[in-house]
Amino acid sequence: MPLPLSLGPKGRPRMVKIEKAKAETPQVRTLFFMDEACGRAEPGQFVMVWIPGVDEVPMSLSYIGSFEPDGLSAVTVRRVGEASEALHRLEVGGLLGVRGPLGRGFKPVEGRVMLVGGGLGIAPMKTLLPKLRRLNCEATVVMGATTASEMALAGEVERLLSGWGRLLKATDDGTLGFKGTAAQLAAEILKEDSGYSQLYACGPEPMLVKILELSFKYGIQAQLSLERYIKCGMGICGSCTVGPYRICVDGPVFTGQTLKDLPEFGKTRRDPSGRSIPV
């Protein structure tokens, strides 16, 4: 039965063709596609990606068509389970469904800014860089990965920062850049110079907790992107709640001021059955 048209881009998956695919690391792959609505997305928004016969999963937009010369948008996928494995198997010319863009993204702010991305957390933040550049910001990007070979999208971030920003890298095992986490490197940088107007961060929740602590320690505003289990993506089912907020419509990006009063932040989330479990 056809879905009602009134559901719009949030409710109806649109079938898009994979135009291009790029292996970023052994475990990470970017899939490029043409889609008008995704091409107009805000940095930090996500889409529900439907792999027919497998699952529908949330993915951040790592490329937004309107910023790209070829007009293609993309998702960058880490292989972790059934759906992401199926996305890694898709060939150029294959089809997938996209619903969205969904949620609220990052707000560009003038001044000296720091972006901290843990793992694939860099994917939604890199789409913010062209907007920050237009505002004449001075950007420091801190990227963290477990090991050098899993540092995805660093070349692309370097290209986007050319002439106006710097990229600093951290690996847990010390195979590239600073030895430690992205949050530890951010703490080292801020210890030397805390004159930033905004901290942006996306990555594992324990990392976000540390970035929020740094934002209060140094009196810097923060915007943090959270992950929760997303089912409907439209604010109906309640599976993605954090306090009174739903990640899929009120987030995934929240201000530090909003998160600081939420007892669930950094502690608990819901599993697919709705049970509260540790993050």
Give residues in contact with ligand FES (CB under 6 A).
Answer: 230-233, 235-240, 246, 248
Q: Does residue number 95 form part of the binding site for ligand FAD (CB under 6 A)?
A: no
Binding mask 102-121 for ligand FAD (x = CB under 6 A): ------------------x-
Q: Does residue number 55 form part of the binding site for ligand FAD (CB under 6 A)?
A: yes
Contact 73, 25 (CB under 8 A): no
Token pair 């490029």 is at which residue? 32
User: Considering Cα of 103, then 17, then 120, then 138, what sign does the dihedral take?
Assistant: negative
Dist. CA 207–CA 42, nearest whole Å? 23
Partner from ligand FES, ligand FAD, none contacting 52, C-beta within 5 to 8 A by type: none
* Given 111, 175, 229, 264, the residue binding ligand FAD (CB under 6 A): 229
Q: Smallest Cα–Cα separation from 61: which of 123, 107, 133, 13?
A: 123
Dist. CA 264–CA 268, nearest whole Å? 5
Q: Which is nearer to ligand FES, 198 or 241 (CB)?
A: 241
Q: Does residue number 264 form part of the binding site for ligand FAD (CB under 6 A)?
A: no
Q: What is the 3-state secondary structure (H, E, C) of 81-134?
A: CHHHHHHHHCCCCCEEEEEEEECECCCCCCCEEEEEEEHHHHHHHHCCHHHHHH
Dist. CA 50–CA 13, nearest whole Å? 7
Partner from ligand FES, ligand FAD, none contacting 237, C-beta within 5 to 8 A by type: ligand FES
Partner from ligand FAD, ligand FES, none contacting 120, C-beta within 5 to 8 A by type: ligand FAD
Q: How far is the CB of 247 from ligand FES (least distance, A)?
A: 6
Q: Does residue number 151 form part of the binding site for ligand FAD (CB under 6 A)?
A: no
Determine the number of helices (DSSP H) and then strands (DSSP E) in the chain: 10, 17
Q: How far is the CB of 232 from ligand FES (least distance, A)?
A: 4
Q: Which is nearer to ligand FES, 29 or 270 (CB)?
A: 270
Contact 151, 172 (CB under 8 A): no
* Given 144, 252, 256, 266, the residue binding ligand FAD (CB under 6 A): 252
Contact 225, 102 (CB under 8 A): no
Q: Which is nearer to ligand FAD, 228 or 246 (CB)?
A: 228
Q: Does residue number 212 form part of the binding site for ligand FAD (CB under 6 A)?
A: no
Token pair 């881009």 is at which residue? 9
Partner from ligand FAD, ligand FES, none contacting 80, C-beta within 5 to 8 A by type: ligand FAD
Q: Smallest Cα–Cα separation from 217: which of 196, 242, 245?
A: 196
Partner from ligand FAD, ligand FES, none contacting 232, C-beta within 5 to 8 A by type: ligand FES
Q: Which is nearer to ligand FES, 246 or 269 (CB)?
A: 246
Dist. CA 279–CA 71, nearest whole Å? 36
Q: Which is nearer to ligand FAD, 220 or 251 (CB)?
A: 251
